[in-house]
Amino acid sequence: MDDITHTTDLAALQTLLGATFNNTDLLLSAITHRSYLNEHREATWEHNERLEFLGDAVLELVVTDHLFKMYPEKPEGELTAIRAALVNTVSLSAASEALGVNKFLLMSKGEAKDEGRARQYILANVFEACIGALYLDQGYDAARDFIAGRLFKHTEEIVRKRLWQDPKSRFQELSQEKASITPTYETISQEGPDHDRIFTIGVFLRHEKVAEGKGRSKQEAEQQAAQHAIAAKGWGDE
């Protein structure tokens, strides 16, 4: 390592992760975005993409094993959907934020300014890279315990609220269950040029417009409308 600040940062990061690394260069690589190395040619360590690749595989195995044992009655398709909800970008980036990893990231000045979805991807990737680093340095059990402590607690909520379903499927199921109505979707408006069009879609229960959604495709707008409709009906907490 060529900068004493990295040593200090990594000591604090290890405390957050609950692990003392034998090879701290692995952890340094885990928090390094490719763009950082483009601006710091003097850096002697790798960026995190290889560790992310490994961590993704370890994460999938750990979560699959957990769900397989926890829900012996559920079919493969449902387990796959639950796993996807547990390890999607939103879930993993939230886990990174909860850990406080954000302040340790090494990236270019341009990337550091990114917010929203772009930052979520970076945080999710770093979470997977940390898993990869833990696996290489401490072994499978340490990686499994790290994942279990950050993600498994969300499993029951995902299953109870059926969050593994996409919003449109969830709203249809809830509408049929609670109102005996199948929702319909109508285009309210289209704005912008063909290459950058924004659709506004309304979701209806018979003649009642429950909510609207916007998106760059009709499908995206329908999904957002369904999500808003679940919230508008107060069905999201059930």
* Mean pLDDT, range 71-84, rounded to an integer: 92
Count of CA atoms in the C-beta half-sphere (13 A) of 113: 2
The residue ranking higher by pLDDT, 4 or 193, is 193
CB 48 within 8 A of CB 129: yes
For the chain, counts of helices (H) and of strands (E): 12, 3
* Mean pLDDT, range 123-152, rounded to an integer: 96
* Mean pLDDT, range 51-75, rounded to an integer: 97
96, pLDDT greater than 70:
yes
185, pLDDT greater than 50:
yes
Rounded Cα distance between 106 and 215, Å, is 32
Q: Hey, what domains does the chain have and what are their CATH numbers? A: 4-160 (1.10.1520.10), 167-233 (3.30.160.20)
pTM of the model: 0.72
Q: Which residues are catalytic?
A: 56, 128
| CA-based nearest residue to 225, from 158, 179, 170 | 170
